[in-house]
Copies of this chain bind each other. A is one copy, B any other.
Amino acid sequence: MAVFVLVHGSWHDGSAWDAVVRHLESKGHKVFAPTVAGHGKGAPRNVTHADCTRSLVEFITGNSLSDIILVGHSFGGTLISKAAEAIPGSIRRLVYQNAFVLRDGLSLLDEIPPEYVALFSQLAKQSGDNTVLPPFPVWREAFINDGDLGLAKAAYARLSPEPFQPFADKLDMKKFYSLEIPRSFLNCTEDIALPPGEWGWHPRMSGRLGLCRLVQMAGSHEVMFTNPQGLAEKILEAGRD
C-alpha cells in the first residue's frame, strides 16, 4: 500500500480532500492532506510562496514520511514542484491534477489569462488584506460546472480568501527541471478554470513535465467535491508505479 500526500489549491484547505481521503484509505492506503500556510479559515494571510512550500515540506519531514506520492491540485502544483526540489529523496512520484507547472522564473500570474490577472489584482486591492476570492458566478460556471447549484453553494461556503502574494512570487524552477522523479498529469476533461486552448491546463502544463503519464477523467476543476470516488480511483491510476 502507498503513502499519499494531497496538496490543495487556492481557496481550499486540507479538508477539501476529505471524501477523497476516505476512498483512498478504504483501499488500504495511508493518506495525508495538510493545510498549507496562509490557508484555511482564520489563518493569517501574510504569507509568501516560500512560506507555503516550507509548511508543506515541514509537514512531510515532521511526520517522517518517505516514498510518498505527492499530489498537487491547481495552485498546489507550484508547491509540490518546489517541495520536490527540497526533498527529492522522499518522493516516489509527483501527480499534477489540473495543476500549475511554472516555467523557470515566472509566477502563477504570468501563466493565467489577462482577464484573470486583472480580476484577481482588482479583488486583492479591494480586499484590504491582499487576498482574493472568486465571485460566485465564476466559481459556479468555470470551477464547479459539473455540480448542481446546491453543491456549488455548499462548496463555495467552504472556501476562504487566498493570499495574493504567492500568486505574484516568481519562482526559480531550475532544480525542479533537472529532477528525474516520475510524474503524472491527471486531467479532468471539463476543467475550464483555465480556459481551454491557448491558456488551458492540458497540454500546456502537462507538456512541460517531459516524460509524464497522462490520466484523464470526466469532471470539472472541483471534481474532489463532485466525484470524489472517481477522483480517488484516478489518483491511484496516476500514482501507481
- Which residues of A pack against B, CB within 8 Å? 137-138, 140-142, 145-146, 148-149, 182, 184, 189-190, 192, 195-197, 200, 202-203, 206-207, 211-216, 218, 237, 240-241
Task: Evaluate contact between A214 and B241: CB separation under 8 angstroms.
Answer: no
- Among residues of B, the one whose C-beta sits closest to the C-beta of A192 is B214
Question: A32 to chain B: closest CB distance in Å?
Answer: 24
Question: A189 to chain B: closest CB distance in Å?
Answer: 6
Total identical chains:
3
Give chain B residues whose Cβ lies under 8 Å from the Cβ of A140: 213
Task: Evaluate contact between A141 and B213: CB separation under 8 angstroms.
Answer: yes
Given A145-B214, A240-B149, is A195 in contact with B203 using a C-beta cutoff of 8 Å? yes
A sample of 8 inter-chain contacts (CB < 8 A) reads: A140-B213, A141-B211, A142-B213, A145-B215, A149-B241, A196-B206, A197-B207, A216-B218
Question: A70 to chain B: closest CB distance in Å?
Answer: 17
